[in-house]
Structure 1
Amino acid sequence: MSALAEAVVDLGAIADNVRTVAAVTDTALMAVVKADGFGHGAVPVARAALDAGARWLGVTSAAEALALRGAGITAPTLSWLHRPDDDFAALISAGVDVGVSTTTHLHAIVDAAHQVGVPATVQLKVDTGLSRNGASGDDWPDLVAWARKYEVEGGVQVRGVWSHLADADTPGSPGLPHQVATFEEALRVARHAGLSPDLVHLANSAAALSAPRTRFDLCRIGLALYGVDPFGADGPGEFGLRPAMTLRTTVINVKRVPAGTGVSYGPEYVTARPTTLALLPLGYADGLPRATEGRAEVWLGGRRLPIVGRVAMDQCVVDAGAAPVAIGDPVVVFGPSTGDGRAGRHGIATTGDPAAPTVTEWARWAGTNPHEILTGVGARVGRDHLHERAGNS
């Protein structure tokens, strides 16, 4: 069965992005492959990133970490968001580092370590101002004290201390220096309690590229790994990142309509002139936000053309005007092109044009960030991984 749309993922771009960021930071890198590698495919992305020099993998959940292990990937991996009753024994047995933000979680992890018979390797997270996960206030000294006690008793090995930044993607943010200072004080408290973490990390993609003071021992790269500038169009400059995903489909119906024709539900769009409408088999179930109505464009027939009317669950309509459009014509929803001229796995051409819309533009049209657009590309959209190797890392 052929997919109606295809996300072409260039693993060569993933590898290039790892090398690009590494050249800037001169630190070890953690490739963040949560949410199925931001929709790109966690396992192939992880392998490409590791082959290019990334030393760590980062995921949100136990299920994501164990899926990597199940695929034969043995590289150091940190998993950081868990329920207190999660299966920590499975993570410990798989050699996965566990992110810890509360004493409740730490006690449960130590219990699991006793069941397994080996210490759990943990990385303690401090809240430096994001106000999500991580220990803050008096909870941090309490957490590090318990961690040190358990370390002495042989229940855990504290490998790392880390945090996450709130607004590193805002150039000149006054909050960044404060978060760094808070982190450095938390690190001092941990060391005063007797901990000696081998791995200290704070920087995300934006900070890794622009804030040397945040880099410490390791930088965690998410959006930059996938080739998207974390600063957007208003950022400090071009970093040489290569977008890895191209979302493509084909025209599946064409009709010539007169002026005054309503398009899609409502209708909220009525043609002002005789025009050609092209139907695309992609909708909000596939990752095209309804909020882009009246703003979004695609690349079709060598030009940008607007999506008109409401985006439906499974389809959307392009107003092609007088442009010659035929059933089967290739469409780039967002690019860039793979540029290799071959057909994708599902028969959708991979040629395109650098003037195709970008994922950053789609995020702006939807009033969101590129992360949401990439992770929203649905499961029924086929994936074609270019430059994939068959092996384990």
Structure 2
Amino acid sequence: MIKLGGAGGLRPLAEAVVDLDAIAHNIRTLAGRTGAELLAVVKADGFGHGLLPVARTVLAAGVGWLGVTSRAEALTLRAGGVEAPVLSWLHAEDEDFAPVVAARIDLSAASSAHLRGIAAGAARAGVRAEVHLKVDTGLSRNGATDDEWPELVRLARRFEAVGRIRVRGVWSHLAGGESPGDPRDTAQLRRFDRALALARAGGLAPDLVHLANSAALVGLPETHFDLVRAGIAVYGVEPRPDLTVGLRPAMTLRSRVILTKRVAAGTGISYGHDYVTAAPSTLALVPVGYADGVPRAVAGAAEVWIQGRRCPIAGRVTMDQIVVDVGDLPVRTGDEVLLFGPGDRGEPTVVDWAGWAGTNPHEIFTGIGARVGRRYLPVRAERNSGRERVHV
């Protein structure tokens, strides 16, 4: 058992323990399923796992590219000493692109206006911008539509001719990818092929063509092309319900009991008394709440792991605390509480929490608040192919 701990005798009220060895294992597992190069998506602070620790770990495990969604994330990587190729893909058209171009960050262009902004930033930086043109193949979110794509290609070629940009990539994003035989995937692949053919006919010669997300990486090899973008799979969540590929969950979220009390049958708990004890019971107070990423929506469904058993959260989740009905278990203050973990012992997993909250694991991970400390378990040398341990 890993005790909650901290420097100077301070003990955090809650802690997310990130197993970097699991992340390295997941990268090796995913790499074994494709001949394409891997891009690890480390946006949103590495899905809540820590931007720089995750980035260093995946690069040491063999990843060639990192993916983020903002200038700030990209520049944080560079400031942290990460020199690997980085693609950043979500921007306003009037942003100042000069600093990211100067830092050798690849940028996605989803419209002609975005491409003009990138080219202007390249001119200010005095450096040619590396660009990935994004086509909307059916997600109807970011990217150029079929009608806009020809003009984006023509503009890109003009900017290439004067040395402002180089089109390194052409890419899109799947709306599905999570179900076998989904006709949306086939339709998007066809639209992507047409867009790629038009780009090449227009004089562009991208080095990297990419479409696949985590789900497509494990289940749709026809979408792999030159590069595959692994997101949630990096962190150990199986991306398709019909496939298990051997990923290891990397995060364990834990806290501890700070108060217990014995109550009679018929005792109402938390705001509104939505939960009433059916028999005499012990209640355990746990100092995590929705400010720490415990969704209010899990009330009435969620369980935590205490003393080798799942116990229900009793009543509403509040900003800073939850109450757990532990029945007759001899729970004491200081006892460990696992909100979620790998599931090896029967404890809830992040997939369980996503189900209880009616969301996806991505939201659970990224919702874990700043008050929750992060602690990192290093990559074990014997599992790292002779590489040195990852510095975090």
TM-score by length of 2: 0.94
Q: Residue 383 in 1 paired to residue 361 in 2?
A: no
Q: CA deviation at 1:391?
A: 4.7
Residue in 2 that maps onto 1:298: 304
* Counterparts of 2:192 and 2:76, CA distance in 1: 31
* Counterparts of 1:39 and 1:237, CA distance in 2: 25
Q: Residue 137 in 1 paired to residue 146 in 2?
A: yes
- Residue pairs, 1:1-393, within 5 angstroms: 1-231=10-240, 235-336=241-342, 354-387=345-378, 389=389, 391=391
Q: Deviations over 1:196-237 (max 9, x none)?
A: 000000000000000010000011000000000112xxx223
Q: CA deviation at 1:357?
A: 0.3
Which secondary structure does the structure 1 equivalent of 2:272 belong to?
coil
* Counterparts of 1:327 and 1:2, CA distance in 2: 14
* Counterparts of 2:157 and 2:305, CA distance in 1: 57
Q: CA deviation at 1:112?
A: 1.2
Q: CA deviation at 1:3?
A: 1.7
Residue in 2 that maps onto 1:346: none
Which secondary structure does the structure 1 equivalent of 2:133 belong to?
strand
* Counterparts of 1:85 and 1:104, CA distance in 2: 8
* Counterparts of 1:141 and 1:236, CA distance in 2: 38
* Counterparts of 2:206 and 2:112, CA distance in 1: 18
Q: Deviations over 1:50-97 (max 9, x none)?
A: 000000000000000000000000100000001112120010010000
Q: CA deviation at 1:2?
A: 3.0
* Counterparts of 2:189 and 2:299, CA distance in 1: 40
- Assess if the C-alpha contact under 8 Å between 2:41 and 2:229 holds in 1: yes
Residue in 1 that maps onto 2:386: none
Gaps of 5+ in 1: 338-352
Paired amino acid for 2:109: V
Q: Deviations over 1:161-198 (max 9, x none)?
A: 00000011123211111111110110001001100000
* Counterparts of 1:75 and 1:241, CA distance in 2: 24
TM-score by length of 1: 0.93
Q: CA deviation at 1:390?
A: 6.0
Which secondary structure does the structure 1 equivalent of 2:237 belong to?
coil
* Counterparts of 2:232 and 2:390, CA distance in 1: 25
* Counterparts of 2:391 and 2:324, CA distance in 1: 41
Which secondary structure does the structure 2 equivalent of 1:31 belong to?
strand
Which secondary structure does the structure 1 equivalent of 2:32 belong to?
helix
Percent pairwise identity: 60
Which secondary structure does the structure 2 equivalent of 1:138 belong to?
coil
Count of residues paired in the alignment = 374
RMSD of aligned residue pairs (Cα, Å): 1.1
- Assess if the C-alpha contact under 8 Å between 2:179 and 2:242 holds in 1: no
* Counterparts of 2:154 and 2:371, CA distance in 1: 48
Q: Runs in 1 of length 4+ with deviation above 2 angstroms?
A: 388-392
Gaps of 5+ in 2: 1-9, 380-388
- Assess if the C-alpha contact under 8 Å between 2:235 and 2:250 holds in 1: yes
